[in-house]
Amino acid sequence: MTFKAILRATAIAGAVGVMTLFAGGADAADKKVSMKMGSAFPGKLVQLGSLGKNIPVKAAAASGGTLDIKFFEPNALVPPLQMFDAISKGSLDAAWSTPGYYIGKIPALAFFSAVPFGPAAGEYLAWYYYGGGKALLEGIYAEHKIHAIMCGIIAPEASGWFRKEIKSVDDLKGLKMRFFGLGAKVMQKMGVSTQLLAAGDIYPALERGTIDATEFSMPAIDLSLGFHQVAKHYYFPGWHQQSTLFDLMISDKKWNEMSKTQHAQLEMVCGDNIREGIAEGEAIQGKALAELKTKGVQFHRWPKNILDTLEKAWEEVVKEENAKDPTFKKVHESYSTFRKGHQIWKDLGYL
């Protein structure tokens, strides 16, 4: 076992030990609940996969074994983009995913995943837990017979990988690019043709020229996927995803099989996963960037004029989506009202 693996195992053991202490172990009345959990991300991926694989380990330890969750790789049970429907219909027990994968069905879910020009982790979680976000998400899921627990968050993403340097917004026109969530709608206004590809499909598409550019995640994750072998221009900041939320979706049927103690144990497991996502995500980027630099990657930071153009396009997207979808508008109003109220604290309290 490597030193890194030992540290990780120690961290998980310590976390589950604390959770077990506070949860009081398994209640004598708790029966064993088994769940098959599909994943939207390969288990080997840094954070995106590892945070998902943490869930069964921590849940078993915190519950004294009464929560038996099995992690399944993408497509082993259901294709990632179909997991929402499968859970809603009761044909899949649970899934580790991000709500933004299902905005084709419910556009408002984007606000519980990543928002262009959105908040850093602290502010995002503040809105979710104390600004009305949680009740809104649970209400949306309840209509589809799904219970969800927010279960992870990661640091800012990069803005994307490009084969050629982008010197103006005109250079974006005509590009074919893999893009996620509401950011894709912004890029479409820049003349970019976007598509959503799963992690394992991106590199082949980039290599074959099916796409000209891609965004996916943070440097440590992008490094592991090898995009630098095909595209050498890496752009920052990730204006489209300053933070990304992930959730554990559970069918109502399985959720109702659990005791209140087991519900609390899963909430604690996911809370600890959020802590790990923030801490690890911040810790691992410097080393990844240093390695990418040795591989000939050129780092670029978008100039203010391009960021301003992207932000203006984002404001247009919001107006259009608000006009089309009352649920989107309702969630946006909650999100934006909280951010306005938080701004005075942000301006005064932070450097």
Angle between helices 50-63 and 3-23 (to 10 degrees): 40
Whether 28 has a pLDDT exceeding 60, the answer reads: no
Q: Assess whether 173 and 222 both reside in one domain.
A: yes
The verdict on 113 and 211 lying in the same domain is no
Q: What domain range includes position 93?
A: 3-156+243-283
Q: How confident is the model at residue 9 (pLDDT cuts 50, 70, 90)?
A: low
The pLDDT tens digits for 287-344 are 999 999 999 999 999 999 999 999 999 999 999 999 999 999 999 999 999 999 999 9
Region 21-27: mean pLDDT is 47
Same domain, 236 and 113: no
- In this predicted structure, the answer to whether residue 48 has a pLDDT above a threshold of 90 is yes
HSE, side-chain direction, 13 A CA sphere, residue 333:
8
37 and 169 both lie in a single domain: no
- Report residue 30's pLDDT band, with 50, 70 and 90 as the boundaries: confident
Q: What's the helix, strand, coil split of the chain in %, to 5?
A: 55, 15, 30
Given a cut of 60, whether residue 5 has pLDDT beyond it is no
Task: Give buried/exposed letters for 123-151 (b at 16+ CB in 10 A, else e).
Answer: bbbbbbeebbbbebbeebbeebebbbbbb
Place of tokens 């100039």: 303
pLDDT at 118 (0 to 100): 96
Q: Which amino acid is at 248?
A: L
pLDDT digits (tens, 9 = 90+) for 182-233: 999 999 999 999 998 888 899 999 999 999 999 999 999 999 999 999 999 9
SS3 280: helix
What lies within 8 Å, CB to CB, of 164 at 6+ separation is: 171, 233
Task: Give pLDDT, residue 198.
Answer: 82
Identify whether residues 122 and 208 lie together within a single domain: no
CATH number at residue 313: 3.40.190.10
Q: Mean of the pLDDT values across residues 19-46?
A: 78
pTM over 0.85: yes
Predicted confidence band of residue 24 (pLDDT cuts 50, 70, 90):
very low
Q: Are residues 139 and 228 in the same domain?
A: no
Residue 148 · residue 249 · CB < 8 Å: yes
Q: Do 94 and 208 belong together in one domain?
A: no
